[in-house]
Amino acid sequence: MSWQQSPLTWPSSAQAIQSSSEGVTTQVAGVINQAAGRLTSMTSDAAFSRNELSAEAEGFLHLRDELNQLLNQGTVLTVSPYQYGVGEKVELGRYLNANTAIKTLAAKLRDNADKHRPTGNLYCVAIMVNQSQLATFASVLNELTSVFCLPDWGQVARQATALTTNETDKRFQPVAIVQPRFKPTSNMNGAPVRELMKLQGAELATLESLCDDKSNVIEKLQALAVKRKAKLNQISIKINVLKNLKGSVWAMPLHGSTEAIATKLTQAELPSDHQYTVASLLLSHEPLTFFQELLC
């Protein structure tokens, strides 16, 4: 074998697929027009009775609005030992006790210099984890973030976990990888094959749709009923899996202006004052129904 210089040529394998599929798809427009004409004359025969569950389902259409109301716009304010200017750094690590965490949150709520500070009447859910040992702190956070994943808490969980294994990890010397490095296996989908897959795929989808006519309408409806039943059962199972919650936090619902929330925070009695703390305020102008029921 030897190297040779070659001009780029459109692959015959791709051309063969296109030619074969267009042998059928070019006839689609004419056939569809004829079919549409026949359907027009049958319009009066297409009046079917309403499904027995249709009226009952119509009475629950408001549930979509109720579901959308559970998704709030707002902001999350978090303090942790690993934030610059928040946690206390000493030779043995970084610490943040609960008292300092709450005072820092209250001070931030009163920070008029921050243009992003929310104003007006706010709904708030305050949450906190406070532990005396780093390993316990990391364990509790990892358990919590597996089901309630605030990005800030996920970062704290990863950093706390890393600190618990530092002594072991720093003694491990991995073998250096020779350059260049292998990249993870993935589709080789650079242009023009990426555009070919999209465009030719659309033509082939038409062929697949036309071929689907080998089943009559009754068979299709029966298959759809089976598929719908299986999908609804799958959705129900997945929702119930979400209910398998674990872990606990210190939590408190609050309401009012930022000044009022700051005052209530500082006046509330702390459950403990250990040296490892992460605390957050979930703030929104809308009621935090889902998070309050989940956490409080």
Domain boundaries, the chain: 72-163+248-295
Q: Within 10 A of 153 (CB to CB), how many other CB atoms are there?
A: 23
Q: Which residues of 172-192 are buried (b: 16+ CB within 10 A; e: fewer)?
A: eeeeeeeeeeeeeeeeeeeee
Looking at the predicted structure, is the pLDDT value of residue 253 above 90?
A: yes
Confidence tier at 90 by pLDDT (50, 70, 90): confident
Cα gap 160→275, rounded to integer Å: 13
**Preceding peptide of 287 cis, ω within 30°:** no
Residues 6+ apart with CB under 8 A from 204: 17, 21
Is the pLDDT at 33 greater than 70? The verdict is yes
Cα gap 136→128, rounded to integer Å: 14
> Which two tokens mark 226?
């089976």
Q: What is the pLDDT of residue 209?
A: 86
d(Cα 209, Cα 279) in Å, to the nearest integer?
Answer: 54
Instruction: Locate 154 and state its tokens.
Output: 């996920």
Rg (the chain; Cα; Å): 30
Residue partners of 177: CB distance under 8 A and separation at least 6: none
End-to-end CA distance of the chain: 71
Q: Is the pLDDT of residue 46 over 90?
A: no
Q: How high is the pLDDT of residue 293?
A: 93
For residue 157, give the amino acid letter.
A
Residue 172 pLDDT exceeds 80: no
Mean pLDDT, the chain, whole residue set: 89
Answer whether 293's CB lies under 8 Å from 123's CB.
no
Sign of the CA dihedral with 266 first, then 268, 274, and 277 last: negative
Neighbouring residues of 174: CB distance < 8 A, sequence distance ≥ 6: none
Residues in the chain: 296
CA angle 197, 202, 207 (to 5 degrees): 120
The Cα–Cα gap between 57 and 228 comes to 15
- 167 has a pLDDT exceeding 70: no
* Nearest residue to 73 via CA among 296, 282, 218, 294: 282
pTM, 2 dp = 0.75
